[in-house]
Chain A
Amino acid sequence: MATETMRKLTMARAISEALAQEMERDPRVLVWGEDVGVYGGIFGATQGLYTRFGPDRVIDTPISESAFIGAAIGASAEGLRPVVELMFVDFFGVAMDQIYNHLAKNHYMSGGQFTHPVVLMCAVGGGYNDAAQHSQTLWGLFAHVPGLKIVVPSNAYDAKGLMISAIRDDNPVMYFFHKGLMGLGWMPSDDLAEVHVPEEPYTIPIGQANVVVEGADISLVTIGATVPRAVRAARQLAADGIRAEVVDLRTLVPLDKEAVLTSVRKTHRLVIIDEDYRSFGMSGEIAAICAEEALDFLEAPIRRLAVPDVPIPYARPLEQAVYPSVESIVQTARELLG
């Protein structure tokens, strides 16, 4: 029993377990998308579902993203709760109209008459040399459009709880799982993401950040795969006597502003780490919120570590040069406290 409660799961297993439990609980939950059936999802997020629930509830679709994402709009309006996978976030371009003009806006434009309980899930992020069309995160792009909730788990425990919350939410939720956290075996994965996951279903409120490391000297605010990197940075800084606080936002929309402000008011220093592009995105948004609501508490300029405004390059030294790293986080924190 003791070993059972300490069970660790990869993020991919945690997601597929959440899906299976919700499909068991609610017959209105269906999964469709490319390769979600027999294959179990290119990144393993739907592993085992086809065998358990069959082709009527786990549906392989043609490569017709506008049609199958748009179908989720009509299906959700008429009582289903679809979870739709689209492999890579980079692929959403071909279906963007259905997402940002319809899925996101119909509830508002209909004066609340139509609701769309849809989860759109996809892989994000790089670190394995897949270049500019398969390595982006793009969460800032979707967070910019009103009407979409944005969820980005950084570990298996959060992945399960946030997926269950996303499925039970009556709004469209974009669920972004980072390839470098999934524990797939065939690509690098941060082992900090593989954590204890309870077997029973549980929820994590969408819009609630998590302080994963407490500290009093500097706030490291981040999301997704840069959370474990910030944790490693905090460990290195602790060796120097710097107590860094790591805030895992977990969801971008709604954003847990209070968690960020509380941390900044405590530490007086802020580094925002984002694997998305630097300009006009998450890092600028959080910097603006802190400038507007906590400027008097800041004892140093806000610093941002994000992908400089270039496409993600292919070659190893080029790719590594554009991502925030443990070393760059440590160095930036030291500079602010120097």
Chain B
Amino acid sequence: MDTQRYLSMYRTMCLIRRYEDRLAEVYAEGKSPLFNIAAGPVPGEMHLAAGQEPVAVGVCAHLRPDDAVTAPHRPHHIAIAKGVDLKRMTAEIFGKAAGLSGGKGGHMHLFDAAAHFSCSGIVGAGFPPAVGAALAFRRSGSDRVAVAFAGEGAANQGTFHESLNLAALWKAPVVFVIEDNHYAISVPKGVSTAIAQNSDRAASYGIPGTYVAGNDVLAVDEAAREAIARARAGGGPCLLEIDTTRLYGHFQGDPEVYLKAGEKEEWRRKDPILRFERWLADHGILDAEGVARIRDEVAAEVEEAIRFAREAPDPDPRSAFVGVFAE
């Protein structure tokens, strides 16, 4: 058993959770007693991914820095798992000059060329670019792959169906990952989607589709291993749909009136990090001391990123007027 690999996955999950929990606090600064979305050190919308760590970590564990990823409007967990620079990402979310894009993108529009990572605030928009990146990889003769992440709501977009068909035609090395957190903002999957599992839709395009139940990082790890290995080996695209839970609202400030009674408590009881922690303990990989050490480490890393972002200078307003075109 590769204990270092499991510890690394556990650590990344803890880093994501700590990051999102701290960002929830930082985001709230300056927004009380009256919630004002434009106030505080982090303005604008904020979509947090706590609870969805198994998806990002289980999939990205099989990716290399030169593989491409497109992510949706809820991108932090995927960015962190893909290796996006945490300090510069945080500075971008704070709208600072030292941010990934010098403050021109923000939380929903994170770009890191070094990590081949990009995201979009438009639902379903990441599928076509991932197919294109995969075409470029296939043509160059490399074994690089592209992964498009999106929520289950995005599987009802035309881009999803168009992209699966095109990827299958092109035998493009791309893996489509649907994060099924059960709600498209407020609309439950059963109200928006005519079939129970989007993974069944893969059959329409002659590609494999797998539903991964249980919000379980080990199950995701196994499914992603097969899917990504297949794409790397020239086997073409496939579709993974991964059952997960969103521990915060759709965005910070969401009253969550649509949740069923006790639903959130049930998700918290089944916290995927705690379950993985227990599994690691049961297999003698991690003890209480190890847990405490890792949690301290990731907390320090998050604080360092937040400090870096807070202290970074604002962008020069004149920079708003340049950079529309490449020179």
Contact = CB atoms under 8 A, between A and B. Distances in A.
A68 B169 CA distance: 12
Interface stretch (A11-19, A104-112, A321-329): A104-112
Contact of B133 (A61, A68, A78, A171): A78
B197 interface: no
Contact of B326 (A73, A74, A80, A170): A170
Given A74-B128, A102-B125, A111-B99, 8 more contacts: A56-B139, A68-B166, A71-B163, A72-B132, A74-B70, A74-B132, A102-B129, A110-B105
Contacts of B132: 70-78, 80, 82
B113 A101 contact: no
A23 to B, nearest CB: 13
Contact of A110 (B113, B135, B146): B113
A3 interface: no
B104 interface: yes
A110 B130 CA distance: 17
B140 interface: yes
Interface string A80-120: 10100000000000100110011000111111111100000
Given A97-B125, A111-B101, A149-B325, A70 B163 contact: yes
Interface string B97-136: 0011110110001011100101010100101111111111
A69 interface: yes
A72 B134 CA distance: 11
Given A67-B166, A68-B166, A79-B140, A110 B127 contact: no
Contacts of A149: 325
B323 A77 contact: no
Interface in A147-171: 147, 149, 170-171
25 contacts: A62-B169, A64-B163, A64-B165, A68-B162, A69-B128, A70-B125, A70-B127, A70-B128, A74-B133, A74-B135, A77-B129, A78-B133, A79-B136, A79-B140, A80-B135, A101-B120, A101-B122, A108-B324, A109-B109, A109-B111, A110-B100, A110-B113, A111-B102, A111-B104, A112-B326
B165 A67 contact: yes
Interface in B8-28: none
Nearest to A117: B326
A146 interface: yes
Interface in B211-234: none
Interface residues of A, number: 41
Given A67-B165, A80-B135, A114 B118 contact: yes
Interface of B: 68, 70, 99-102, 104-105, 109, 111-113, 116, 118, 120, 122, 125, 127-137, 139-140, 146, 158-159, 162-163, 165-166, 169, 323-326
Contacts of A98: 125, 128, 159
A142 to B, nearest CB: 14
Nearest to B102: A111
A67 B125 contact: no
A27 to B, nearest CB: 9
B32 to A, nearest CB: 30
Contacts of B129: 70-71, 73-74, 77, 102
Contacts of A107: 323-326
A30 B324 CA distance: 25
A210 interface: no
A150 to B, nearest CB: 12
Given A114-B111, A149-B325, A70 B159 contact: yes
B128 A66 contact: yes
Contacts of A77: 68, 118, 129, 132-133, 136
Pick the most buried of B105, B132, B162, B166: most chain A CB atoms within 10 A of its CB.
Answer: B132
A312 B293 CA distance: 70
Contacts of A71: 128-129, 131-132, 135, 163, 166
Contacts of A108: 104, 323-324
A289 B220 CA distance: 58
A64 to B, nearest CB: 4
Contacts of B136: 74-75, 77-80
A146 B322 CA distance: 11
A149 B122 CA distance: 23
Given A69-B128, A70-B128, A97-B125, A106 B133 contact: no
A82 B139 CA distance: 13
Interface string A165-183: 0000011000000000000
A110 B111 contact: yes
A74 B101 contact: no
B279 to A, nearest CB: 36
